[in-house]
């Protein structure tokens, strides 16, 4: 609970009056010829940094002529806040004062705007200086805007502080912490920062109850940032945390203090080859990894060029050209190179090192073996390429499938429609004709959907695959028997010559599915009264070869390569106009390859076809 009831507005005004940010409250003037604002209030910081006296009741354009016209982003930011009531911010340069400002605006009421002006001109200058120093010393720290959060102390009934509640914060608070104020206002400090312990709460409470302000450095593991935090009290029972991001400064200080020690430790223990060269391309440093990789003692490198070490011009000239470019442009370069001699890829960086006058005196070379990474990337790219090809094939397949489904469905629906409309007027012969058409379409649809469901189940991995030793003769005879009526209808004789001693390692259902589809196709494309032969034999002592030979119409040579592909369609009517989708052969290929075999066809148009597939044999 709070020790003392306090008006949050008075606390806010305390900060407004005393903070270093410029604060201004204005009203949009809707009747003016141009967009303008009337000052309601401006805090001392605003008047100071913009060099104006009392502005209350005056118009913005009269105090700062042409300001909005010269800074469109400021005009837009203020208008969005005042008219749309949306929080907005921008950065502007006011030439009149030769200053840069960070402006954040929000709206307390319709057509009113509150704006914070932060003069960060010194930060801009510092950034320019730091950028120059960064090129010389490989980076220094950046300047960050200050954030603040206002907290009220929470106490027990015995007036013992146990937590603090966030009452107010600025936009820099959001930026630096990653929190949105709308989501964290009225949350406790332990909710926002769970690692905050009782000792820290007690320190904050002491300041809130009159102790001297203090400051400390804090590292946030969640944000991976260092902060300089100042703790002050605007009023009894309250404290504020004002903080800056000092991550760059902290890290750079550590680097500057231990640079040589860390450099030596890193260089000597690195798995990368690290070398330093002068303008004549002589080695002035080489680490242990260089010795291991190139099989040259470290001491032998010092003071020698690559040519003096025995390298061929073909090997070192590209290296020297790259270093010469770094000396010339005074900028680092990085590339990945392939070394044919060792069949490896290397990530190669050349970094300029300057002397006290800012001139590049040496070049640091860091070379890392990235063969595994590049190989993995190439493998991934190849995998993505294959995946795109597979997806493209499936897209084409589904387009073909939709077309194949449309035809029997169309016949089916047309026949049903005719029966429903004309049944009473039809003769028995006509009715029988339409019923046969419906039956044929239904049978075609059933076969197509059955194959499709099996194929889809196989693709999704839900089709159970149980290979067991099976009698090849039994499997063949069982399948031939199951389609005997189809063959009998066309007066086709199926002969099966399979030895009883042949055993195949196969999933029974998949084997039957393969052979049934091949026999069904053979019957479709064999003329009435023809013959079909099924044969099986052992080959290579490892596989069983099964073949289905018909004396049908055969397959044109240009279509053979695409018979087993889902993205290509070759279908033709059977000898008695039986329909065919081609999906059965796709399913056969999937079933055969699932069991470790291969499938192919030998065919000659108007002579016949022989479909062959192999499966593992059982010893």
Same fold, 21-123 and 147-251: yes
> Residues 334-348: pLDDT tens digits?
878 776 656 778 888
Alpha helices in 88-150 (DSSP H): 121-137
The encoded tokens of residue 80 equal 């969005």
Query: Among candidates 569, 609, 557, 566, which has minimal Cα distance to 588?
Result: 566
Q: Do 117 and 52 form a contact (C-beta atoms < 8 A)?
A: no
Give the chain's radius of gyration (CA, Å). Answer: 42
- Give the homologous superfamily in CATH for domain 270-369: PAS domain (3.30.450.20)
CATH class of 382-460: mainly alpha
Residue 412 CB-half CA count within 13 A:
13
Q: Tell whether domain 21-123 is in CATH 3.40.50.150.
A: no
Q: Which of 159-173, 245-259, 346-360 has the lowest mean pLDDT?
A: 245-259
Q: Tell whether domain 468-616 is in CATH 3.60.15.10.
A: no
Q: Do 476 and 496 form a contact (C-beta atoms < 8 A)?
A: yes
Is pLDDT above 50 for 142?
no
> Residues 245-298: pLDDT tens digits?
888 888 877 776 666 676 667 767 777 888 889 988 899 888 888 878 778 888
Q: What 8-state DSSP symbol labels residue 101? A: E
| Cα angle for residues 262, 263, 264 (degrees, 5° grid) | 90
Average pLDDT over residues 418-433: 74
Which of 133-142, 164-173, 571-580 shows the highest mean pLDDT? 164-173
Query: Among candidates 481, 578, 486, which has minimal Cα distance to 525?
Result: 578
Q: Do 363 and 337 form a contact (C-beta atoms < 8 A)?
A: no
> What is the model's pLDDT at position 570?
61
**The CATH number fitting domain 147-251, selected from 3.40.190.10, 3.30.450.20, 3.40.190.80, 3.50.50.60:** 3.30.450.20
> What is the model's pLDDT at position 534?
94
Query: Among candidates 222, 161, 162, 229, which has minimal Cα distance to 192?
Result: 222
């Amino acid at each position: 609970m709070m020790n003392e009831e306090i008006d949050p507005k008075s606390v806010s005004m305390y900060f407004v009056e005393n903070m270093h940010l410029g604060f201004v409250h204005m009203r949009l003037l809707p009747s003016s010829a141009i967009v303008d604002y009337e000052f309601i209030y401006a805090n001392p910081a605003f008047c100071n940094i913009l060099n104006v006296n009392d502005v209350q009741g005056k118009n913005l354009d009269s105090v700062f002529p042409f300001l909005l016209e010269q800074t469109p982003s400021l005009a837009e930011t203020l208008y969005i806040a005042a008219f749309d009531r949306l929080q907005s911010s921008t950065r502007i340069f006011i030439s009149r004062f030769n200053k840069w400002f960070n402006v954040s605006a929000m709206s307390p009421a319709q057509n009113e705007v509150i704006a914070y002006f932060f003069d960060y001109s010194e930060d801009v200058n510092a950034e320019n200086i730091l950028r120059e120093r960064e090129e010389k010393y490989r980076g220094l720290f950046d300047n960050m805007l200050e954030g603040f959060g206002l907290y009220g102390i929470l106490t027990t009934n015995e007036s013992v502080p146990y937590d603090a509640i966030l009452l107010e914060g600025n936009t820099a608070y959001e930026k630096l912490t990653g929190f949105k104020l709308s989501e964290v206002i009225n949350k406790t400090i332990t909710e926002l920062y769970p690692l905050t312990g009782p000792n820290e709460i007690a320190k904050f409470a002491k300041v809130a109850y009159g102790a001297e302000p203090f400051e400390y450095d804090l590292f946030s593991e969640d944000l991976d940032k260092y902060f300089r935090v100042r703790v002050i009290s605007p009023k009894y029972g309250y404290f504020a945390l004002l903080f800056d991001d000092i991550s760059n400064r902290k890290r750079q200080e550590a680097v500057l203090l231990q640079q040589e020690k860390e450099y030596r430790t890193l260089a000597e223990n690195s798995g990368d080859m690290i070398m330093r060269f002068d303008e004549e391309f002589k080695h002035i440093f080489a680490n242990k990894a260089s010795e291991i990789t190139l099989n040259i003692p470290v001491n032998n490198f010092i003071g020698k060029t690559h040519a003096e070490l025995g390298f061929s011009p073909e090997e070192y000239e590209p290296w020297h050209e790259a270093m010469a470019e770094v000396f010339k442009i005074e900028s680092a370069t990085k590339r990945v190179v392939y070394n044919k001699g060792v069949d490896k890829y290397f990530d190669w960086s050349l970094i300029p090192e300057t002397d006290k006058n800012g001139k590049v005196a040496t070049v640091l070379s860091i070379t890392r073996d990235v063969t595994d990474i590049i190989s993995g990337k190439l493998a991934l790219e190849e995998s993505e390429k294959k995946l795109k090809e597979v997806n493209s094939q499936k897209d084409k397949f589904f387009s073909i499938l939709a077309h194949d489904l449309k035809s029997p469905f169309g016949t089916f629906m047309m026949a049903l429609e005719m029966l429903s409309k004309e049944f009473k007027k039809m003769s028995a012969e006509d009715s029988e004709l339409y019923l046969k058409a419906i039956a044929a379409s239904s049978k075609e649809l059933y076969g197509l959907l059955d194959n499709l469901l099996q194929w889809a189940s196989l693709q999704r991995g839900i089709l159970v695959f149980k290979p067991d030793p099976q009698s090849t003769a039994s499997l063949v005879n069982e399948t031939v028997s199951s389609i005997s009526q189809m063959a009998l209808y066309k007066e086709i004789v199926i002969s099966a010559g399979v030895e009883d001693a042949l055993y195949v390692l196969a999933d029974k259902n998949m084997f039957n599915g393969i052979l049934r589809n091949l026999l069904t196709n053979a019957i479709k494309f064999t003329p009435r009264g023809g013959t079909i032969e099924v044969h099986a034999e052992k080959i290579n002592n490892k596989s069983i070869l099964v073949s289905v030979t018909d004396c049908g119409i055969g397959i044109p040579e240009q279509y053979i390569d695409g018979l087993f592909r889902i993205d290509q369609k070759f279908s033709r009517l059977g000898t008695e106009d039986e329909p065919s989708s081609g999906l059965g052969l796709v399913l056969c290929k999937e079933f055969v390859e699932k069991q470790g075999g291969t499938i192919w066809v030998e065919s000659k148009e108007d002579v016949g076809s022989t479909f062959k597939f192999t499966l593992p044999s059982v010893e």
